[in-house]
Structure 1
Amino acid sequence: MTDYTIRRARRDDVAAIVRMLADDQLGATRDDPGDLEPYLRAFDDIDADRNQFLMVVASGDEPVGTLQLTIIPGLARRGALRGQIEAVRIRADHRGSGLGADFVRWAIDESRRRGCALVQLTSDVTRTEAHRFYERLGFTPSHMGFKLKL
């Protein structure tokens, strides 16, 4: 990733991040780049939490990818920390370049540096391409997830 920089997202990156979230088969139905206010509130909460890492991969200073890494303390597995990867997106004009794989590997390495015993993520059942992508990176489908919309 020599032409790219991985850094914490800044408040002025939120519009670009939301556009990436919305440029997706599922995000198009639930994210709205035209109304940034709820995203800015969420950004402030994320940015204030020492266990949250909202990251961008930037070309120059322009975000072309994003992900959120959460370090989760827990009692299970002898009090092990877990890294939870969420909302991995690469801007359409940078997909297929290997950038996404490098970015997820960064999150894995960062989880290791922070003492995590494992890294986990979820992926919607309809994202079969994403499933193959994560399996190529060494992830194994091991659990069935459940959600309750509130």
Structure 2
Amino acid sequence: MDHHRLQIRPAERGDLGALLDLYRHLDPEDARPTPGQAAAILERFLRYPGSVILLGEVDGRPACSCTLVVIPNLTRGGRPYGLIENVVTDATFRQRGYGRALLDAATDAAWRQDCYKVMLMTGSKTPATLAFYAGAGFEPSKTGFQKRRLPVRKEP
């Protein structure tokens, strides 16, 4: 594992193109927002308190990313919870420990925001993907339900 080469930082406005390119590794067929739409969405996200899009770089090249949204909460003593979404690693950087390091960084960011839990969902049924999340400390302890307006992403 050479995750010591990975530098993780909050994504900034100038990273928008790199993020959109990374998301192609989630689903190459996914509709991409126009540059104007993407810039407006990122601006809105950057104003969302406590939340962050983390970008992992190796030798200055975008390697992985995930989004952490911190959600206010009126239960659990008023402590918020974190939701991790859009976990992605560029295919050329996989199997090096970068994804796990990224999820650890997202979890640490959630703990600094006093979240009482961090959760994520995956639509994947691939054993390696499920083992990856379990190996990163996430346990399948709840049942998830969703209503969708877009179809489920196809697995390779």
Report the TM range for the smaller structure's normalisation.
0.7 to 0.9
Per-residue Cα deviation, 1:9-55 (whole angstroms, up to 9, x for no partner):
1222111211221223xx2232338x433222211111122222011
Percent identity at matched positions? 24
TM-align CA RMSD? 1.9
Distance 1:38 1:145, change over 3 A: farther
Q: Secondary structure at the match of 1:115?
A: coil
Equivalent AA in structure 1 for residue 101 of structure 2: D
Equivalent in the alignment of 1:146: 145
* Aligned residues between the structures: 147
Bigger relative CO (Cα 8 Å, ≥ 6 apart): 2
For residues 42 and 149 of structure 1, the distance between their equivalents in structure 2, rounded to whole angstroms, comes to 20
Equivalent in the alignment of 2:7: 5
Equivalent in the alignment of 2:28: 28
Q: Which runs of 5+ in 1 are unaligned?
A: none
For residues 31 and 137 of structure 2, the distance between their equivalents in structure 1, rounded to whole angstroms, comes to 29
Structure number having the greater strand percentage? 1
Structure 1 consecutive aligned stretches of length 4 or more whose deviation exceeds 3 Å:
125-128
For residues 127 and 80 of structure 1, the distance between their equivalents in structure 2, rounded to whole angstroms, comes to 33
For residues 31 and 23 of structure 1, the distance between their equivalents in structure 2, rounded to whole angstroms, comes to 13
Instruction: After TM superposition, give the deviation of residue 60 of structure 1 in Å.
Output: 3.4
Distance 1:40 1:97, change over 3 A: same
TM-score by length of 1: 0.86
Distance 1:40 1:129, change over 3 A: farther
Equivalent in the alignment of 2:53: 54
Contact 1:22 1:31 in 2 (8 A): no
